[in-house]
Amino acid sequence: MDNPVGIFDSGIGGLTVVKEVIKLLPHENLVYFGDTARVPYGIKSKETIIKFSLENTLFLLQQDVKMIVIACNTSSSLALPIIRRHFKIPIIGVIMPGAKEAVYATKNKKVGVIGTRATINSGAYEEEIKRLDAGIKVFSQACPMFVPIVEEGWINDAITTKVAEKYLSVLKSKGIDTLILGCTHYPLLKNKIQQVMGKAVKLIDSAEQVAIEVKQVLSQEGVLNKERSRPSREYFVSDEVAIFKNVAKSFLGNELKEVKRVSNV
Amino acid sequence: MDNPVGIFDSGIGGLTVVKEVIKLLPHENLVYFGDTARVPYGIKSKETIIKFSLENTLFLLQQDVKMIVIACNTSSSLALPIIRRHFKIPIIGVIMPGAKEAVYATKNKKVGVIGTRATINSGAYEEEIKRLDAGIKVFSQACPMFVPIVEEGWINDAITTKVAEKYLSVLKSKGIDTLILGCTHYPLLKNKIQQVMGKAVKLIDSAEQVAIEVKQVLSQEGVLNKERSRPSREYFVSDEVAIFKNVAKSFLGNELKEVKRVSNV
């Protein structure tokens, strides 16, 4: 019961999911792993993404986690179906919760999806949305520059508006009323994206929905943590701790005290 | 003598060095390794860059190379001094040749350096330039968005001009007459950078100088290839071959026929 929930991401973006899980399930113990030595995943091949994701899963299993959340859209799109096949504990990704919320939100049945090149090429969101409602039209756009922009801290820069306009103009012309932010970095560009798409378009950030999914799974499995002691939250990265800590604040809203570096992946 | 020259890079940028080596030493056999599964290095820590660079070196040694060129500025800045200590064959990087050329080129003794964050933070170019001429003033600027811009293919985009202006305006105000392009991706943005800096500023792309250095080393060691048979050129990458091949053309000028994927790093 008091085993931790394991969450991994290619780097730092998964902290947006951590934040929502802590909010909804404040008593759960957590272990986070960010693969900062091999980040980003979104420009790499399916085979490589699966290999890295399997290694991250094995690392979390060594921490005795009771379930795993793949808090990375690229990894969820390409590796989740394969990883799920191998392991006994429940493993969820971020695609299904995001797709579900978009299907619920859209009124004109035109949904947009933005993400890394690997996520968009996988067609994972489109597939999931169509499975829920075959009548919905899905329009996708890879936005490879958004991640480096967030990591460079150009959240409010005029250049970012230009980049957003370049990527989003086609989606805008399709008349979508709902847009899935299919990468955990993108919520940090929410204001810019909203400004370019217009106020009428609903932006879907799956982190909140993922937290709800975590609660449902733990509850179904009967492994919600009933203890009310102070929960433990451990953070591991594969590259330098200082680099991770510096950026973590903008994702998590507060500073991380202890982060450990591991070299076993 | 007919052992190959080994060249490695974090990804694809090192092909600019390959191109110049082929031009100057058309009879040498070559082995290239691009660590595309773990690219980029420039946002990572010194310890991680050293680990990856050592692994790449070991891979090339297994291919029986007679010398190694670290065709990556980040790796040359941070790992070269350590790697050199361990191995018997000559190993050169791209920093010294670039610094040498800049010292030779500057008239007003004000030199600029641009590169990844890791390269700039290392201070490697500044150190090398000061060693050659302590009277030269060096001004440095990290340009983290330039690599994703090149990989996105936005070579002639108006956004790229804006990004270049943002990064280079401070360097321009210092009155430098020479600017080192301290990352193998940057020569592809030469036109934009020249446009922003003005025609009077000499841009230093170290690839050509590196090729000269390779010839000197092989000659000193007495291992220049005297055979005039058709040279072999082998290309290895750690991620998918197709992704690498697609971008290789813009760096090398012609298509690569055979590229092999290796998973031993």
Query: Looking at the structure, do residues A32 and A72 belong to the same domain, yes or no?
Result: yes
The ipTM value here is 0.90
Domain range enclosing A139:
95-205
Mutation site for A-interface testing, chosen from B53, B141, B152, B169 by largest number of A Cβ within 10 Å = B152
Closest CA to A75 of A54, A60, A58, A59: A54
| Interchain CB distance below 8 Å, B162 and A166 | no
Would you give the end-to-end CA distance of chain B in angstroms?
Answer: 27
Query: Looking at the structure, do residues A200 and A102 belong to the same domain, yes or no?
Result: yes
Query: Looking at the structure, do residues A126 and A162 belong to the same domain, yes or no?
Result: yes
Residue A228: predicted pLDDT: 81
| Domain total in chain A | 2
| Interchain CB distance below 8 Å, A37 and B48 | yes
| Whether pLDDT at A24 is above 90 | yes
Q: Which residues have a Cβ under 8 Å from the Cβ of A188 and sit 6 or more positions away? A: A150, A155, A250, A251
Q: Which residues of A fall within a CB distance of 8 Å from B38?
A: 37-38
Query: Looking at the structure, do residues B125 and B189 belong to the same domain, yes or no?
Result: yes
Mean of the per-residue pLDDT values for chain A?
95
Please identify every residue of B annotated as catalytic.
72, 183
Domain end, chosen from B161, B187, B205, is at: B205
Mean pLDDT (whole number) for A203-210: 93
Query: Would the pTM of this model clear 0.90, i.e. be above it?
Result: yes
Query: Looking at the structure, do residues A114 and A198 belong to the same domain, yes or no?
Result: yes
Q: Which residues of B fall within a CB distance of 8 Å from A163?
A: 159
CA distance B193 to A127: 43
Distance from CA of B173 to the nearest CA of A (A): 21
- Are A259 and A34 in contact by the 8 Å Cβ rule? The answer is no
Query: Looking at the structure, do residues B12 and B107 belong to the same domain, yes or no?
Result: no
Q: What is the pLDDT along chain B (265 residues), one digit of tens a residue?
A: 799 999 999 999 999 999 999 999 999 999 999 999 999 999 999 999 999 999 999 999 999 999 999 999 999 999 999 999 999 999 999 999 999 999 999 999 999 999 999 999 999 999 999 999 999 999 999 999 999 999 899 999 999 999 999 999 999 999 999 999 999 999 999 999 999 999 999 999 989 999 999 999 999 999 999 888 889 999 999 999 988 998 898 888 888 989 999 985 5
CA distance A38 to B155: 26
Residue A250: predicted pLDDT: 81
| Interchain CB distance below 8 Å, B148 and A151 | no
Query: Looking at the structure, do residues A62 and A112 belong to the same domain, yes or no?
Result: no
Residue B193: predicted pLDDT: 98
| Whether pLDDT at A265 is above 80 | no
| Whether pLDDT at A48 is above 80 | yes
Query: CA nearest A161 in B: which residue?
Result: B159
Query: Looking at the structure, do residues B73 and B126 belong to the same domain, yes or no?
Result: no
Q: Which residues of B fall within a CB distance of 8 Å from A39?
A: 43
Residue A252: predicted pLDDT: 85
Q: Which CATH number characterizes residue B150's domain?
A: 3.40.50.1860
Residues of A within an 8 Å Cβ radius of B: 36-39, 43-48, 51, 144-145, 148-149, 151-152, 157-159, 162-163, 166, 238-240, 243, 263
Query: Looking at the structure, do residues B157 and B179 belong to the same domain, yes or no?
Result: yes
Domain end, chosen from A205, A223, A246, is at: A205
Using the 8-state DSSP alphabet, how is residue A260 labeled? E
Q: Are strands B110-115 and B137-142 parallel, antiparallel or unpaired?
A: parallel
Which of A37, A152, A159 is closest, CB to CB, to B159?
A: A159
| Interchain CB distance below 8 Å, A162 and B159 | yes
Which of A152, A163, A240 is closest, CB to CB, to B144?
A: A152
Mutation site for B-interface testing, chosen from A150, A152, A161 by largest number of B Cβ within 10 Å = A152
Q: What are the pLDDT digits (tens) for A66-122?
A: 999 999 999 999 999 999 999 999 999 999 999 999 999 999 999 999 999 999 999
| Interchain CB distance below 8 Å, A48 and B162 | no
- Are A209 and A55 in contact by the 8 Å Cβ rule? The answer is no
Q: What are the pLDDT digits (tens) for A156-192?
A: 999 999 999 999 999 999 999 999 999 999 999 999 9
| Interchain CB distance below 8 Å, A44 and B243 | yes
Domain end, chosen from B184, B205, B226, is at: B205
Which of B144, B162, B263 is closest, CB to CB, to A148?
A: B144
